A and B are shown apart, each in its own frame.
Chain A
Amino acid sequence: MALPAHATTGERIWYYTFRVLVAVVFIYLIFPILTIIPLSFNSGEFLHYPLQGVSLRWYHDVIASGQWAVAVKNSLIVGVCSMVLATVLGTTAAVGLNRVNFPGKQLLVAFLISPMMIPLVISALALYLFFAKIGLNDTYLGIILAHTILGMPFVLITVSATLQGFDYTLVNAGASLGAAPLPVFFRIVMPLILPGIVSGAMFAFATSLDEVVVVLFIAGPAHRTLPLQMFSGIREHLSPTILAVATMLIVFAGLLMLTLEFLRKRNEKLNAPANIAA
């Protein structure tokens, strides 16, 4: 949208005003997150600029303090377990749903992805009341099940999306050449829908790693996850240690984003020849 040579003064003014406007919006979007990073290297205890000096003391603090280490450990346990469960259950269900058509299928899908739409506090309350009856509050299993349910819709959606372009004659070809259903799935279907599975899994993991509300209801002190530790830290005593943790999470978000972009590009390339053929 370059400015043409014959543009009028009004058009010129608008052209530059619009660019300034977009720049301001972009600064609003990105700037607050970037301000955290330098502050986490501050050697002093203040949470504002100017920096008193540069040091890694808050990062040492994160590693040295037992609380944060436990929180990271808990988050990894819960995140990995719920990611695996959500990915396996979500992928199999997506494959199953893709195979058949029946009345009410849309409704079923809507029900299965409802944890994504229903306000978190409602899921949290419902699980808290239910877990109180069956003794799953304050347990790893309870948190893992809750996060599986919250992360699964993403897997279902991403895998269903990759399956939409999937050519089922490949499955028939495999079967007609004598392969049993499981080898057909693992050697033919899975490699082709892998980008969808991986991005779904990453969504599920990221959901678990960022989830506070449900954990706030159902986790006991021994099962504090990283976001819960951060939440109470921000609420009760905001220390620069939290900024160090936040910086690490920003770096993690960057890596996540790059991986997903890579997968998306790869998927586009994979689908491109099929599109031409069709």
Chain B
Amino acid sequence: MALQDVADKSLHDKLRRAERRKKIEAVSLIGPLLLLMVIFYFIPIGMMLYRSIDNSQMREILPETAKALAHWNGQGLPDESAYAAVVADMKVAYPARTLAGAGRRLNFDKVGFYSLLLKTGRKLKKIGGPPYKEKLIEIDSKWGDPKYWTVMKRGLKNITLIYLLRAVDLRYDDTNSIVGVPEEQAIYKSIIQRTVYISLSVTILCLLIGYPLAYFMATSSASVRNLLMIGLLLVFWTSLLVRTLSWILVLQDKGVVNSFLLSLGIISHPLPLVFNRIGVYVAMTHVLLPFMVLPLYSVMAGIPSYYVRAARSLGATPIAAFFKVYTPMTLPGIGAGCLMVFIQALGYYITPALVGGPKDQMVSYFVAFFVNERVNWSMASALGVVLLLMTGSFYLIFGKRVNITNMKLG
């Protein structure tokens, strides 16, 4: 082996070792954070996603029935063995108080199941021995109705789609096909539409208000610009709750706006400006405005003034020069600002909850509602999935064109 080869080989080894050391170093630097994120963020998010379809508890409460119905073909009524299994399961579940949970779960699919299970549970002692089929039907004729058995079979699978379907106003009908829920129960589609509508309106308002402000900041003298920037950043850094609170005070019946209009004699009674949609628009636009102005400003500050001057000297009217030359150059800022505002608005909860009325609440509110008021974690998770899909799809469609990471920091 030539000396040159040996030298090459050792250099090659050294390089490889150095590269490996660098890699180990990087992994040990990133590792702790990644571990924390996986355990305390990605696993919880995954669990939440699974929760929206998870139905395994039902098999734990009614294991025998699940086994018996696995063989049932779904036509007509199941045979005696299924009825015997129901009785056997209830004898365990009723005293253990788990039957009510199963009842609530099945009631979510078909109204009337909760009372059916609890009523049967109460009368269980009187049943005695077989034949169970006749005796159960005697307790409640619903046991003789194949529709309830269809729901029961569906409700004992390990995975269920009823929550996700309900989150978009769909359900199973008696023949196991997916249909829309009756009109008087359909609420989620309108909530989703309302969420998109409010977010879109707020985004447009932010753009209409933010564009002139950003333009003025970008074209005025340094001292004026600094003053405006300080005001904007003060608002940006002020707590969201404080800003929301301030709008409640300003817009209330005896607030500054109403007192001012009353004293001018423009109105004779205070206008309802808060705890309704107006309040939501005014406060949300205010809270999200910095996210529009900051990216717009950073783009506008980089546009030299001679483009517009050149257009004007070539005969363009001021309006044409502005819309045909200036505005197209600000499109990256418009895109970034709109995406930032829109995606954040979709997930808003606190501001609408405080300044909106019952008809101004968005998807987030109902996620919290199902956790705190209804204790229905599955439905909360299903709405969470819907919200995540909404946010994620808008981000995937528009996010590529916009570098969102450096937006939030001003």
Residues of A at under 8 Å CB distance from B?
Answer: 1, 11, 14, 18-19, 21-22, 25-26, 28-33, 35-36, 39, 46-49, 89-90, 92-93, 95-97, 99-100, 108-109, 111-130, 133, 145-146, 148-149, 152, 154, 157-158, 161, 181, 199, 203, 206, 209-210, 212-213, 216-217, 227, 230-231, 234-235, 238, 242-243, 246, 249-250, 253-254, 256-257, 260-261
**Distance in Å: Cβ of A179 to nearest Cβ of chain B:** 15
Q: Is the CB of B47 within 8 A of A35?
A: no
Q: Is the CB of B250 within 8 A of A32?
A: yes
Among B228, B237, B343: residue with most chain A CB under 10 A: B237
With A and B bound together, what is the CA distance between A185 and B243 in angstroms?
41
Which of A95, A212, A231, A253 interacts with B237 by CB under 8 Å? A253
A33/B209 contact (C-beta < 8 A), A111-B37, A149-B40 known:
no
Cross-chain pair count, CB within 8 angstroms = 250
Q: Is the CB of B44 within 8 A of A116?
A: no
Q: Is the CB of A250 within 8 A of B238?
A: yes
A157/B406 contact (C-beta < 8 A), A118-B388, A210-B241, A212-B350 known:
yes
Q: Is the CB of B26 within 8 A of A97?
A: yes
Within B95-114, the residues touching A (CB, 8 Å) are none
Among B32, B232, B350, B380: residue with most chain A CB under 10 A: B350
Q: Is the CB of A112 within 8 A of B246?
A: no
Q: Does B45 contact A (CB under 8 A)?
A: yes
**Which secondary structure characterizes the binding site on chain A?**
helix
* Interface footprint category on B: 35 or more
**Distance in Å: Cβ of A148 to nearest Cβ of chain B:** 7
Q: Does B207 contact A (CB under 8 A)?
A: no
Q: Does B405 contact A (CB under 8 A)?
A: yes
Q: Which residues of A contact B231 (CB under 8 A)?
A: 26, 29-30
Q: Does B212 contact A (CB under 8 A)?
A: yes
Stretch at the interface among B77-85, B155-163, B251-259: B251-259
Q: Is the CB of A26 within 8 A of B238?
A: no
A36/B246 contact (C-beta < 8 A), A127-B44, A128-B371, A129-B48 known:
yes
Q: Is the CB of A49 within 8 A of B256?
A: yes
Q: List 18 A-B contacts (CB under 8 A).
A: A1-B220, A22-B212, A22-B213, A32-B250, A49-B259, A92-B32, A96-B25, A96-B28, A118-B388, A123-B45, A126-B48, A145-B40, A154-B408, A157-B406, A213-B368, A217-B371, A234-B354, A253-B234
Q: Does B144 contact A (CB under 8 A)?
A: no
Q: Does B120 contact A (CB under 8 A)?
A: no
Q: Which residues of A contact B43 (CB under 8 A)?
A: 130
Q: Is the CB of B246 within 8 A of A125?
A: no
Q: Does B314 contact A (CB under 8 A)?
A: no
